[in-house]
Amino acid sequence: MAVIIKTAEEIEKMRELGRLAAEALDYIGQFVKPGVTTNELDKLIYDYHTEVQGGYPAPLNYGNPPYPKSCCTSVNHVICHGIPDDKPLKNGDILNIDVTIKKDGFHGDSSRMFAVGKISPHAQRLIDVTHQSMMAGIEAVKPGATLGDVGYACQQVAENAGYSVVQEFCGHGIGRGFHEEPQILHYGRKGQGLVLQPGMIFTVEPMINQGKRHLRILADGWTVVTKDRSLSAQWEHEVLVTETGYEILTISPQTGKP
Q: Provide the residue ranges of all domains of the chain, joining segments of one domain with +.
A: 8-248
At the topology level, CATH places domain 8-248 in Creatine Amidinohydrolase (3.90.230)
Give the pLDDT score at 222.
98
Give the pLDDT score at 188.
98
Q: Which residues carry a binding-site annotation for substrate?
A: 81, 179
- Cα 224 to Cα 98: distance, rounded to the nearest angstrom: 14
pTM, entire model: 0.98
Residue 105 region by backbone torsions, left for phi larger than 0, else alpha for psi between -120 and 50, else beta = left
Q: What is the mean pLDDT of each run of 10 residues along the chain (258 residues)?
A: 94 98 98 98 98 98 97 98 98 98 98 98 98 98 98 98 98 98 98 98 98 98 98 98 98 97
Give the pLDDT score at 125.
98
Q: Which residues carry a binding-site annotation for a divalent metal cation?
A: 98, 109, 172, 205, 236
Alpha-carbon separation of residue 38 from 34, 41, 49, 97 (angstroms)? 11, 5, 16, 9
Give the pLDDT score at 109.
98
**Helix, coil or strand: residue 217:** strand
Give the pLDDT score at 129.
99
Give the pLDDT score at 136.
98
Give the pLDDT score at 73.
98
Q: Which residues carry a binding-site annotation?
A: 81, 98, 109, 172, 179, 205, 236
